[in-house]
Amino acid sequence: MVKNAATATSDGTVVAIRGGVVDIAFAGTVPHVNALVQAGDVALEVASLLGGGVVRCVALGPVRGLALGIRVKAGGGGIEVPVGEAVLGRMLNVFGAPLDGLPPVAAAMRRPIHRPPPPLSDRVLRAEVLETGIKAIDLLSPIERGGKTGLFGGAGVGKTVLLSELIHNTVEHHHGVSLFCGIGERSREAEELWREMGEAGVRDKMVMLFGQMNEAPGVRFLIGNTALTMAEFFRDDQGKDVLLLIDNIFRFVQAGSEVSGLLGRMPSRVGYQPTLATELAALQERISSTRNGSITSIQAVYVPADDFTDPAAAAIFSHLSASVVLSRKRASEGLYPAVDPLASASVMLTPAIVGQRHYDIARAVRRTLAEYEELRDIIAMLGIEELSAHDRAVVTRARRLERFLTQPFFTVSASAGTTGRLVTIDETLAGCAEILAQTTFDRPESAYYMIGALSEMKEMA
């Protein structure tokens, strides 16, 4: 009789190989779902039980060299990774093994990567704003401390640059622990980030985890669980505030779609896996604040073909407390960061949390930019001279607000030939309020472009 045990060790035989999916037959004890099995040098994770002692596994590495009939060893347990202070300052993979060329992590504790989210009774809501120093975000889409923020945009609109700038501005002043999780991104970006964090002197309080673009879909699908397991230890056991940065959460969905197809599941809308909502919720629900500490997550989200109705983008939207939408149109106009002020939103932008003044100024900025958007077609056809005096004043203010909400970044200062600016919320509000209060301006629009606080323009004048 076949038993399904969680801890017993048993041997099996490879009976089928279909790309990155391997079927293994066990004569005795059958390993449980999410158990780790070893076939030579290839690690596999059990994805489903087919009955008759056969399990279907997802390969966590290249299957080159595997053959039918190879003996497989199952230890019974799942993937466990090191946690604690020993992982700080390291670059690791999905198994917690080093990618930085240093010796393996000598941690006293290891924990399984598949863990349930904290119960609702342990969760708390903290109505605090995480100041980023980026004008467009702090004004229009403030980030919740202990919440989840998404940076949405298509290819080439600046998601990774904006995330790098957020790392630069927040990690340096963050008093807790920071984790960077790279899912399906380029190896070049991983190397650049590793070097930049070392130069900034913040690497010793960061953990960097990567499941790169060239790795098996199973690795890209699980690297987020590895990052969350380490983050949960710092939150629950050490009572720290954790900053979790993910680039790119869409690649997690994409990896799940690949795994689902390999497992033979029927695809759902637009070819995505039928378990999309469940898999995404299982990951996102682990990101939360408890009585002990908090996990604040900032996630870059690739939007396929700039289509925000895509099922993956729509599913991710539902989990976020703030969404920063990047616009290709603004990027083409050279307005960086290319934050769309009308599409971005945050649950924190209420008078009770940010204050009445911040709320009123943000609404006035949005209203001015929305009126300008409506007048664009008239200006294109008839010219600005045909507008009323009121509408011309709106256009004048809106164009200066658009340029004032740009700013030079530290992370691209070398290539852009500029010096980065960190702007406080008070400086941003004061600058916007001054522009909104004026109807005529002494300085041209270009004077407001790529500066920090408004006082900087006056000093230059």
154 belongs to an annotated ligand binding site = yes
| DSSP element (H, E) containing 15 | strand 10-18
At 414, list the tokens: 């070398």
160 belongs to an annotated ligand binding site = yes
Task: Residue 231: name the closest of 246, 212, 217 by CA.
Answer: 246
CA distance 324 to 308: 13
- Catalytic-role residue among 165, 185, 232, 279: 185
Buried-state track 356-386, b at ≥16 Cβ within 10 A, e below 16: eebeebbebbbebbeebeebeeebeeeeeee
Planar angle of CA 140, 143, 144, nearest 5 degrees: 130
CA distance 346 to 128: 12
Active site residue 232: no
Task: Residue 216: name the closest of 16, 20, 18 by CA.
Answer: 20
Strand partners, 109: 83
156 belongs to an annotated ligand binding site = yes
- Catalytic-role residue among 73, 115, 186, 367: 186
Greatest Cα pair distance, the chain, in angstroms, is: 87
- Catalytic-role residue among 90, 148, 159, 397: 159
20 belongs to an annotated ligand binding site = no
Active site residue 159: yes
Specify the 3-state DSSP secondary structure of 212.
coil
CA distance 146 to 128: 8
Active site residue 421: no
153 belongs to an annotated ligand binding site = yes
157 belongs to an annotated ligand binding site = yes
> Residue positions in the annotated binding site for ATP?
153-160
> Residue positions in the annotated binding site?
153-160
Q: Which residues are catalytic?
A: 159, 185-186
